[in-house]
Amino acid sequence: MKKMIIFLAILTVSPAISFAERSSCQGCKPYTPTRLEWLAMEMNIDMKIELKDGIGIDMCFRPSHHEDAIIIRVVHEPNKDKSVINNWIKRARKLIKSKASSKGWEKWLKINESVHSL
């Protein structure tokens, strides 16, 4: 009976592994994101704002390719109140720090900003 369970387990897992290895599909190949890519993805899920949202700013998050940093990228309408922009950036920084702390990354992670008007 024990041999039968092991045999069935191998049959169940084996096709999934071999499909990913055999497939010529580019989207099927394994990929492991970096810590910065993972954090940027989480932040974009939690806080990304688009101009079409009616707030007057576009905010997204990108991993830096030159240092251990995440970049808060903000593009805003020319007449947008700076205090509103700064408040959104402050909220983003707070959430980034919280996420970094929960993962043990707070010692090495830097937070940079890129703020531009349309």
Number of domains within the chain: 2
Q: Are residues 56 and 81 in the same domain?
A: yes
pLDDT grade, residue 25 (50/70/90)?
Answer: confident
76 and 109 housed in the same domain: yes
Q: Are residues 3 and 53 located together in one domain of the fold?
A: no
Based on the fold, state whether residues 7 and 44 are members of the same structural domain: no
Same domain, 4 and 53: no
pLDDT digits (tens, 9 = 90+) for 34-91: 999 999 999 999 999 998 888 999 999 999 999 999 999 999 999 999 999 999 999 9
Report how far apart the first and last C-alpha atoms of the chain are (Å, whole number).
69
46 and 10 belong to one structural domain: no
Identify the CATH number of the domain in which residue 59 sits: 3.30.70
Pair 1, 20 in one domain: yes
pTM: 0.76
Nearest to 74 by CA among 30, 32, 105, 43: 43
Q: Which domain holds residue 19?
A: 1-31
Bridge partner residues of 111 (DSSP): 70
- Under 8 Å between Cβ of 56 and 71: no
Query: What's the count of helices (H) and strands (E) in the chain, helices before strands?
Result: 3, 3
